[in-house]
């Protein structure tokens, strides 16, 4: 068979399916259709990863409308994008297939078809960001994904969701406008938006980019030494840090995740920040290159302290949260610190650790939010007080939470251990003892916040006897949560799959960029 | 003229950004955000201008112009304008919902109401 059209299909399928959901109107039909599309998207992503893996170049390129690359828009997928796409679509497929049950009692039934339409648009945006090889396209897809996630968050039944969505909208728009400024400045100096072309022209001299006729003060100056490019890099990094919720720009995240419908926090926790991290990797390594970002600008002096602070401060804040989802959200901010820390080492081992953790954390955090969704189907309270004694009433659900929690801590046999192991060994490779110790301190803090949940669920008896009839969550939901969290257990033992792929992805990134 | 456009861009950007940060009223925040975005539109439109260039339209004539302004930034910014409109519309829609639920569009009052409940 001919698999050449897969890259465009990945993006266009959910895009076309979204308006179809509107036409279906009935909640059940729209849900069935959307889940089908989610599963198809996952199959396409899996097949694409297979094709990428087997292709000699380790990448596939798709020219939109057959316009040749630097002039037309190019979709370009290498191993990293293939891996991220699989994660995003897998989580979307799982979240969509259980969404109807989770939406009950959270979103009125007559609005379900709207919900599914916007969910699919969000998936379109996220897949588009990962697929495209054009910098301006990244901005457009980022806005599609962001705008639809603002809407999804505002659908939460808690009235605070409205303000959370509004605050996210303001912060997110500032972030993407920064991105737009950065892209504009880069275009101004190079005259191209294609990532590969941009990377090439940034290292050329001003004279060779502008040609003979241009009157330049200093034609021998490389483009990436100009102040405009420095400013572009600054704007791009800060804008993405906002989207990524890198400490101290994380203020929008806890409110948004804690008040959104549970299925939305399940989906976004595993995908949106991960995709922003992917774009950060692309911009730093593929476009600007290792030498520029780390030797000329010195990005590590900014990112390492911020990442470590994120790990410590956000974990500590998480330990003080009374609301389960807020606790998980602050834990997400801390885990983003681990991701960025891996990147800031700027070594092959560090980037590998970052990519592995992207994969593992997406599964863990989505699984954990899904467990919270399971609890929400049985009782309205989601605070530590209201889950007292839940370990006896919902043993399978809480066991899933324990598995995910152990993964967050990084206990051996879970996938969280694999990524922390890689991260610490990447730190020790260059004798960064202090950083390694601080990562371990972060894990200790993770023990504290995970323990608080376990203690409440298993070692405290419920206050009122009236709620004893609360039983297990619906089977389908439970199964979905166990699929995600079971996967983290499997990947904690069989590490070849993720680590092998991540190594190759890191090689492509570092090799192509420097 | 020189760099006048770019100074205007920076001035507008800072005015918008300050409004977003400093104002409590949600509508004023949206206005600030709008000004902030418009400054970027101006940046793109200014960068497309080529000195002595005319509009990028091919004219069949003997004295046809040889230098054209770059149309690409203008096309790009059209997309960004659409995105900006969508953002503003969504933001205002959210403000309407907030006003219906809380009866206020002052951020501190809303936060206070949430703390009490």
- Does A514 have pLDDT greater than 50? no
Residue A414 has pLDDT above 80, yes or no: yes
Residues 109-138 of A with CB under 8 A from B: 136
CA distance A478 to chain B (A): 32
For residue A212, pLDDT over 70 is answered with: no
A184, closest residue in chain B (CA to CA): B44
Report d(CA A388, CA A486) in Å as an integer.
24
Question: In terms of C-beta density within 10 A (0-12 exposed, 13-18 middle, 19 or more buried), how is residue A171 classed?
Answer: buried
Q: What is the pLDDT of residues A67-78, one digit of tens each?
A: 887 788 888 888
CA distance A350 to A345: 5
Mean pLDDT of A166-171: 93
Is A166's CB within 8 Å of B95's CB? yes
Nearest CA in chain A to B97: A162
Q: Please tell me the predicted confidence (pLDDT) of residue B68.
A: 79
Is A257's Cβ below 8 Å from some Cβ in B? no
* Mutation site, A137, A161, A170, A190, interface B, largest B CB count within 10 A: A170
Residues of B in contact with A181 (CB under 8 A): 40, 43
- Supply A160's token pair: 């605070």
Q: Report yes or no: A175 and A245 within 8 Å, Cβ to Cβ.
A: no
Closest A-chain CA to B96: A162
Looking at the partner chain, which of A163, A177, A184 has a beta carbon nearest the beta carbon of B47?
A184
Residue of chain B whose Cα is closest to the Cα of A150: B90
Residue B89 has pLDDT above 90, yes or no: yes
> A203 pLDDT exceeds 80?
yes
SS3 for B52-111, per residue? Answer: CCECCCCCCCCCCCCCECCCHHHHHHHHHHHHHHHHHHHHHHHHHHHHHHHCCCEHHHHH
- Do residue A181 and residue B40 have CB atoms under 8 angstroms apart? yes
pLDDT of residue A283: 92
Q: Assess whether pLDDT exceeds 60 at residue A330.
A: yes
Burial-class residue A42 by CB neighbours within 10 Å (0-12, 13-18, 19+).
Answer: buried
Complete domains list, chain B, with CATH: 4-49+69-116 (1.10.287.3510)
Q: In this structure, how many other beta carbons lie within 10 angstroms of the beta carbon of residue A470?
A: 15
Chain B nearest CA to A164, separation (Å) = 10
User: What pLDDT does A463 receive?
Assistant: 65
Instruction: Catalogue the long-range contacts made by A470-474 (C-beta closer than 8 Å, 24 or more residues apart).
Output: A470/A378, A470/A379, A470/A390, A470/A393, A470/A394, A471/A378, A471/A393, A471/A394, A472/A394, A472/A395, A472/A396, A472/A397, A473/A374, A473/A375, A473/A377, A473/A378, A473/A394, A473/A396, A473/A397, A474/A101, A474/A374, A474/A377
Determine contact: A165 vs chain B, CB below 8 A. yes
Contacts with A492 (C-beta within 8 Å, 6 or more apart), sequence order: A407, A412, A413, A414, A415, A416, A417, A418
Interface test with B, best of A125, A145, A184 (most B CBs within 10 A): A184
pLDDT one-digit tens code per residue, A493-506: 888 888 888 888 88
pLDDT of amino acid A120: 93
Closest CA of chain A from B55, distance in Å: 18
Is some CB atom of chain B closer than 8 A to the CB atom of A296?
no
At residue A93, the pLDDT reads 92
pLDDT in tens, A38-58: 999 999 999 988 888 888 877
Closest CA to A469 of A403, A393, A377: A393
In B, which residues are within 8 Å of A169 by CB distance? 87, 90-91, 94
* Confidence (pLDDT) at A119: 93
Mean pLDDT for chain A overall: 87
Averaged pLDDT of chain B: 87
Distance to chain B for A169, nearest Cα, Å: 7
pLDDT over threshold 70, residue B60: no
**Which is more confident, A215 or A356?**
A356
- Contact state of A174 with B95 under an 8 Å Cβ cutoff: no
Considering only residues 166 to 205 of chain A, which have any Cβ-Cβ distance to chain B shorter than 8 Å?
166, 169-170, 173-174, 177, 180-181, 184, 187-188, 193
| pLDDT average, residue stretch A476-483 | 87
Cα separation, A28 vs A34, in Å, equals: 10
Residues of B with CB under 8 A from a CB of A: 17, 20, 26, 29, 33, 36-37, 40, 43-44, 47, 72-73, 76, 79-80, 83, 86-87, 90-91, 94-95, 97-98, 101-102, 107, 110-111, 114
A vs B, Cβ pairs < 8 A, gives: 70
Structure tokens belonging to residue A180: 């737009």
User: What are the chain B neighbours of A139 within 8 Å (beta carbons)?
Assistant: 80
For the cut 60, the answer to whether the pLDDT of residue A236 exceeds it is yes
Q: Scanning every residue of chain A, which has its alpha carbon at the shortest distance from the alpha carbon of B101?
A: A159
Question: Which of residues A399 and B116 earns the better pLDDT score?
Answer: A399
For residue A458, the surrounding DSSP H or E stretch is helix A433-459
pLDDT band at A92 (very low <50, low <70, confident <90, very high): very high
Provide, as residue numbers in chain A, all residues whose Cβ is less than 8 Å from the Cβ of B20.
170, 174
Does the CB of A228 have a partner CB in chain B at under 8 Å? no
Q: Does A72 touch chain B (CB under 8 A)?
A: no
Q: Would the CB atoms of B80 and A139 count as touching at under 8 Å?
A: yes
> In the prediction, which pLDDT does A293 show?
82
Give yes or no for residue B8 having a pLDDT over 60.
yes
Query: Is A444 touching B (CB cutoff 8 A)?
Result: no
pLDDT value of residue A508:
84
In this complex, the residue of B26, B37, B86 whose CB is nearest that of residue A166 is: B26
**Secondary structure of B5-52 in HEC code, one letter for each residue:** HHHHHHHHHHHHHHHHHHCCEHHHHHHHHHHHHHHHHHHHHHHCCCCC
pLDDT at B61 (0 to 100) = 63
Least confident of A226-230, A397-401, A420-424, A473-477: A473-477
Contact residues on chain A for B33, CB-CB shorter than 8 A:
170, 173-174
Q: Kindly compute the dihedral angle of the four CA atoms of residues A396, A401, A405, A410, in this order, to the nearest 10 degrees.
A: 50
pLDDT of residue A3: 77
- The least confident of A103-117, A299-313, A411-425, B48-62 is B48-62
Model confidence over A260-312: pLDDT tens digits?
Answer: 998 999 999 989 999 999 999 999 988 888 888 888 888 888 889 999 999 99
- Summarised one tens digit per residue, pLDDT across range A445-464 is 999 999 988 888 888 777 66
Percent of chain A past pLDDT 70, that is, above it, reads 97
pLDDT at A207 over 50: yes
User: Per the CB < 8 Å rule, is B98 touching A163?
Assistant: yes
pLDDT at A107: 84
Beta-bridge partner residues of A77: A60
Pick the most confident of A209-218, A249-258, A389-398: A249-258
């Amino acid at each position: 068979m001919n698999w050449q059209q897969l890259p465009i299909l990945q993006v266009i399928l959910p895009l076309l399916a979204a308006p179809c959901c509107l036409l279906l109107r009935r909640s059940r039909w729209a849900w069935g259709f959307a889940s089908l599309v989610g599963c198809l998207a996952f199959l396409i992503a899996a097949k694409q990863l297979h094709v990428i893996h087997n292709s000699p170049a380790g990448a596939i390129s798709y020219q939109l409308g057959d316009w040749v690359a630097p002039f037309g828009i190019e979709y370009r997928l290498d191993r990293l994008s293939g891996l991220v796409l699989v994660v995003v679509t897998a989580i979307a497929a799982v979240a969509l297939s259980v969404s109807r049950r989770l939406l009950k009692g959270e979103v009125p039934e007559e609005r379900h078809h709207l919900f599914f339409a916007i969910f699919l648009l969000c998936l379109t945006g996220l897949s588009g960001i990962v697929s495209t090889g054009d910098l301006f396209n990244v901005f457009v897809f980022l806005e599609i994904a962001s705008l639809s996630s603002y809407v999804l968050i505002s659908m939460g039944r808690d009235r605070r969701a409205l303000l959370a969505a509004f605050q996210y909208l303001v912060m997110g728009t500032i972030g993407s406008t920064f991105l737009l400024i950065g892209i504009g400045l880069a275009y101004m100096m190079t005259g191209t938006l294609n990532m590969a072309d941009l990377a090439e022209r940034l290292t050329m001299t001003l004279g060779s980019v502008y040609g003979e006729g241009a009157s330049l003060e200093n034609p021998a100056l490389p483009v990436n030494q100009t102040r405009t490019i420095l400013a572009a890099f600054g704007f791009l990094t800060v804008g993405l840090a906002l989207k990524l919720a890198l400490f101290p720009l994380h203020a929008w995240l806890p409110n948004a995740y804690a008040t959104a419908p549970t299925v939305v926090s399940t989906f976004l926790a595993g995908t949106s920040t991960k995709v922003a991290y992917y774009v950060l990797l692309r911009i730093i390594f593929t476009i600007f290159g290792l030498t520029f970002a780390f030797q000329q600008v010195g990005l590590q002096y900014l990112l390492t302290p911020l990442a470590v602070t994120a790990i410590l401060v956000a974990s500590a804040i998480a330990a003080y949260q009374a609301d389960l989802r807020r606790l998980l959200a602050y834990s997400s901010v801390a885990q983003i610190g681990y991701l960025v820390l891996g990147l800031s080492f700027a070594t092959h081992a560090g980037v590998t650790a970052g990519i592995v953790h992207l994969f593992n954390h997406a599964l863990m955090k989505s699984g954990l939010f899904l467990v919270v969704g399971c609890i929400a189907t049985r009782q309205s309270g989601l605070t530590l007080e209201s889950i007292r004694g839940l370990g006896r009433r919902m043993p399978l659900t809480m066991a899933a939470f324990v598995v995910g929690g152990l993964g967050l801590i990084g206990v051996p046999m879970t996938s969280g251990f694999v990524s922390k192991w890689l991260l610490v060994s990447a730190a020790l490779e260059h004798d960064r003892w202090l950083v390694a110790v601080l990562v371990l301190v972060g894990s200790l803090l993770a023990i504290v916040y995970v323990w608080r949940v376990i203690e409440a669920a298993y070692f405290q008896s419920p206050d009122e006897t009236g709620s004893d009839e609360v039983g297990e969550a619906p089977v389908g939901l439970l199964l979905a949560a166990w699929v995600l969290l079971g996967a983290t257990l499997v990947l904690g033992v069989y590490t070849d799959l993720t680590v092998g792929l991540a190594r190759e992805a890191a090689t492509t990134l570092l090799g192509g960029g420097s | 003229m020189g760099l006048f456009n770019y100074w205007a861009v920076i001035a507008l950007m800072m005015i918008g950004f300050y409004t977003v940060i400093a104002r409590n009223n949600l509508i004023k925040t949206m206005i600030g955000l709008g000004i902030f975005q418009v400054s970027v539109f101006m940046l793109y439109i200014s960068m497309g201008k080529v000195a002595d260039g005319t509009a990028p339209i091919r004219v069949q004539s003997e004295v046809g112009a040889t230098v054209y302004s770059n149309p690409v930034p203008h096309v790009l910014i059209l997309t960004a304008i659409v995105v900006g409109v969508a953002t503003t519309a969504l933001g205002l829609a959210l403000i309407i919902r907030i006003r219906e639920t809380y009866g206020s569009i002052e951020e501190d009052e809303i936060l206070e109401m949430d703390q009490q409940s």
